[in-house]
């Protein structure tokens, strides 16, 4: 489908509900694009945007949402969904994302009477996404899925509506996704992961990396730059930082190529 089809879908939903929707914006390119595009449709109304903060949300994502809210005049509501106090989430089972999204949508509903929009897209349907089950239970609407938009379509739309370099923003799931399935989630651990990733991004411009806390090691994965471009000196800097943050030995820190979902290990999971 084209941009015009997406516009018709969003307009129809809003007309039926007679209320401007609330868009759940994580700070990633999908939800950012949806919020920006929706606000361009309803220029005379401020689009409602809810952004959840918490230990699993990278600081840079929150800062990005705040800046865009000012630029596009969003009615931004910063919320704390408090999933970190949910023992089901903390246990980090295979369906951890369900409990995160369940808390998210329940909290958003406290502040809105209209539809809740998410930035989920067609590509998400090809992956294991328990968060989509929580969205279904909460009657969340996915305009990109309805308009048959995948990630490529979203990045193209982001560029067309003026988001510029953000259209190439690397995917960055929540920090809890860096923790191997079955290892307990703690605020302290998530803070350390966020800290080391921000440190690495200060070394490499536009870095696309994951620092995964695994049973046997800290696996620092590089998508951009590629692993073979990392010098021994740069690795030493990163090791030293990780040593101090995580109190682990050099032998427990490995560098590897990025592998999607490699901290997700169903066999270790108790649901």
Average pLDDT, the chain: 93
Residue 269 pLDDT exceeds 50: no
Residue 17 pLDDT exceeds 80: no
Give me the percent of the chain exceeding a pLDDT of 90: 84
CB neighbourhood size of 46 (10 A): 15
The whole-angstrom separation of Cα 159 and Cα 165 is 8
Nearest alpha-carbon partner for 77 in 46, 101, 56, 99: 46
Q: Cβ contacts of residue 32 below 8 Å, gap of 6+?
A: 25, 64, 65, 68, 119, 158, 163, 166, 169
Question: Is the CB of residue 230 less than 8 Å from the CB of residue 222?
Answer: yes
Write out pLDDT tens, residues 203-237: 998 899 999 999 999 999 999 999 999 999 999 99
More confident call, 269 vs 153? 153
Residues 186 and 69 grouped into a single domain: no
CB neighbourhood size of 59 (10 A): 13
Domain count, the chain: 2
Max CA distance (Å), the chain: 59
The whole-angstrom separation of Cα 229 and Cα 235 is 11
Q: Residue 127's pLDDT band (boundaries 50, 70, 90)?
A: confident
Residues 27 and 139 grouped into a single domain: yes
Residues 116 and 249 grouped into a single domain: no
3-state secondary structure of 48: strand
Residues 37 and 112 grouped into a single domain: yes
Domain ends where: 168, 187, 220?
Answer: 168
Write out pLDDT tens, residues 87-126: 999 999 999 999 999 999 999 999 888 899 999 999 999 9
Strands 218-224 and 208-213: antiparallel
Residues 180 and 163 grouped into a single domain: no
Write out pLDDT tens, residues 144-185: 999 999 999 999 999 999 999 999 999 888 999 999 999 999
Write out pLDDT tens, residues 145-154: 999 999 999 9
The whole-angstrom separation of Cα 167 and Cα 174 is 19
Residues 59 and 161 grouped into a single domain: yes
Residues 144 and 193 grouped into a single domain: no
Strands (E), 225-266: 253-257
Instruction: Find tokens 């938009």 and name the residue.
Output: 149
Nearest alpha-carbon partner for 50 in 109, 95, 134, 93: 109
More confident call, 162 vs 270? 162
Residues 58 and 95 grouped into a single domain: yes
Q: Which CATH number is 243's domain given?
A: 3.30.300
Kindly list the distances between the CA atom of residue 125 and the CA atoms of 120, 128, 227, in Å, as whole numbers in the listed order: 9, 8, 30
Residues 56 and 152 grouped into a single domain: yes
Instruction: Find tokens 């739309």 and name the residue.
Output: 157
The whole-angstrom separation of Cα 128 and Cα 37 is 27
Q: Residue 270's pLDDT band (boundaries 50, 70, 90)?
A: very low
Expressed as residue numbers, the domain containing 13 is: 3-168
Domain ends where: 145, 168, 191?
Answer: 168
More confident call, 266 vs 116? 116
């Amino acid at each position: 489908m084209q941009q015009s089809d997406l516009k018709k879908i969003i307009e129809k939903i809003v007309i039926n509900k007679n209320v401007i929707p609330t868009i759940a914006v994580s700070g990633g390119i999908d939800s950012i694009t949806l919020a920006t595009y929706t606000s361009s449709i309803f220029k005379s109304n401020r689009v409602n945007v809810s952004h959840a903060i918490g230990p699993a949300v990278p600081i840079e994502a929150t800062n990005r949402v705040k800046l865009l809210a000012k630029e596009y005049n969003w009615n931004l509501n910063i919320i704390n969904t408090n999933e970190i106090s949910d023992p089901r989430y903390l246990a980090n089972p295979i369906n951890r994302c369900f409990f995160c999204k369940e808390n998210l949508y329940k909290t958003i509903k406290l502040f809105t009477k209209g539809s809740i929009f998410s930035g989920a897209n067609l590509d998400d349907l090809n992956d294991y996404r328990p968060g989509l089950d929580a969205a279904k239970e909460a009657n969340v609407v996915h305009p990109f899925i309805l308009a048959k938009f995948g990630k490529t379509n979203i990045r193209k739309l982001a560029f067309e509506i003026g988001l510029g370099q953000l259209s190439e923003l690397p995917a960055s799931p929540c920090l809890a996704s860096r923790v191997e399935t079955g290892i307990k989630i703690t605020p302290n651990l998530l803070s350390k992961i966020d800290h080391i990733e921000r440190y690495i991004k200060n070394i490499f411009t536009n870095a696309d990396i994951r620092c995964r806390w695994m049973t046997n090691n800290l696996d620092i994965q590089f998508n951009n730059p590629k692993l073979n471009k990392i010098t021994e000196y740069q690795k030493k800097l990163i090791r030293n930082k990780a040593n101090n943050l995580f109190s682990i030995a050099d032998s427990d820190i490995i560098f590897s190529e990025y592998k999607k979902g490699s901290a997700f290990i169903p066999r270790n999971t108790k649901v």
